[in-house]
Every structure is written in C-alpha cells, then in structure tokens.
Chain A
Amino acid sequence: AQSVTQPDIHITVSEGASLELRCNYSYGATPYLFWYVQSPGQGLQLLLKYFSGDTLVQGIKGFEAEFKRSQSSFNLRKPSVHWSDAAEYFCAVGARDSSYKLIFGSGTRLLVRP
C-alpha cells in the first residue's frame, strides 16, 4: 500500500538558516510526488510537484525538492528561511488509478526563530 512518512513533527530554524524537511514514501512504481504548505486556518497551497524527468524540482517561494528513488525520498529544501515560511508542510504521493487521490504524510510544523 502507498504511504508517506514525515519523520519530523516539528522543526525550528533561525531566520536566514537553511531548511530541509524530510519525506519518505512507499510506492510500487514511479510516484507522483507533491509538497503542500498550510498556514494556520487556511487551505493547502501547492509548493511543487514531481512527475518525471529532472529529479530536482523547483517550486514557489524559493523551495526546491529532490527525488531520490534509491532512498524513496522527496525532501524539501530552502537555502534561506524567512519568518513568513512558518507553517505546516505536507508531503503527498499520488495514487495512479482512476481516483487520482493523494496520500498525505502527517505533516511537519516549521517554526522560525527571529
């Protein structure tokens, strides 16, 4: 069965520091992978996606993620965090059937120290 693991429940970084949020997936074939961000009380916004091709994908707000098949990972990175990046981040894998549903990880809450 497909699953997504985000091992870090909370991460705290200082403003201006680099960031890496971890995501591991379980899927039998080449996955479709996504990162979403959620500010408190808001819906989810798509940061970036991977379908195929270049394993390093660029997203909005200066985020990038790298697909590593050998490690079943799709970690999210940002070289310099801004206070406005404080939010909850969700990794998801897409089911490749007619449902097109997303299986989400449990999320990582990012706190940014001034």
Chain B
Amino acid sequence: SQTIHQWPATLVQPVGSPLSLECTVEGTSNPNLYWYRQAAGRGLQLLFYSVGIGQISSEVPQNLSASRPQDRQFILSSKKLLLSDSGFYLCAWKQGAYNEQFFGPGTRLTVL
C-alpha cells in the first residue's frame, strides 16, 4: 500500500533562516506531488505541484521554492524565512486519471 511521509513534524525557525521540508511517497511510481499551505484558521492554498522529476509548477509568487530530485521525493525550501511563512504545510500525491489526492501528516512551521 502507499504511504506518504513528511519531515519534520514541527519546526520553529527564526526570521531570515533557511528552510527545507521533505515529503516522500512509498508504494507508487511517477505520482503527481503537491505542496499546500494552511495558515491558522484558513483553507488550503496550493503552492507548488510536480508531474515528474525536475518538473515544478508554482501557483503563488512567494519566497518559497520546490524541487523534485527523485520520483517520490518533493522538497519545499526557502533561503530566508518571513513571519508570514508560518503555517501548516501539507504534501499530497495523486496517481491515475482522476484528482483524488492523498495527504501526508503535515509539518507545523512557526517563524519567530
């Protein structure tokens, strides 16, 4: 069966520090991968998606970036964090002809 992991579970970082969040999927190949952010009390905002290795599409202009160095690995990064980057970051994967996405457990990021 397929599983999705996110690392770390929680993170507290100072403003201006770098960021690297990792998402890995097991039990599937060539999935679409997605990064979402959920600010406190808000809905989900799609940040990036990837349909294959090295292929990244950005949905929202910001100081974040994403990379997909391997088929089942999706990384969210920043060179300098802002206070507004605080939130709950969710990774999701999809495979097949429909949009059914499966979500990871999330990473809680607090920027101080």
Chain A residues at the B interface, C-beta cutoff of 8 Å? 32, 34, 36, 41-46, 49, 51, 90, 94-96, 98-102, 104-107
Give every chain A residue within 8 A of B102 (Cβ-Cβ). Answer: 46
The reply to whether A100 and B103 contact each other, CB–CB distance below 8 Å, is: no
Q: Which 9 A-B pairs have the closest CB atoms?
A: A94-B99, A43-B103, A106-B43, A44-B103, A104-B44, A100-B99, A43-B105, A43-B106, A107-B43
Interface string of B30-57 (1 = CB under 8 A from A): 0010100000001110100101000001
Expressed in whole angstroms, the minimum distance between the Cβ of A54 and any Cβ of chain B is 16
CB closest residue in chain A, given B45: A104
Using A101-B49, A104-B43 as known contacts, say yes or no to A43 and B99 having CB atoms under 8 A apart.
Answer: no
The reply to whether B99 and A42 contact each other, CB–CB distance below 8 Å, is: no
The reply to whether B46 and A101 contact each other, CB–CB distance below 8 Å, is: yes
Give every chain A residue within 8 A of B44 (Cβ-Cβ). Answer: 44, 90, 104
- Chain B binding surface SS class: strand
Q: Pick from A32, A101, A104: contact of B98, CB below 8 A.
A: A32
* Known A41-B106, A102-B101; 13 more pairs at CB < 8 Å: A41-B88, A43-B90, A44-B44, A44-B92, A46-B102, A90-B44, A94-B99, A94-B100, A95-B99, A96-B99, A99-B32, A104-B44, A106-B43
Q: Pick from A41, A49, A98: contact of B100, CB below 8 A.
A: A49
Using A95-B99, A106-B43 as known contacts, say yes or no to A100 and B108 having CB atoms under 8 A apart.
Answer: no
The reply to whether B43 and A105 contact each other, CB–CB distance below 8 Å, is: yes
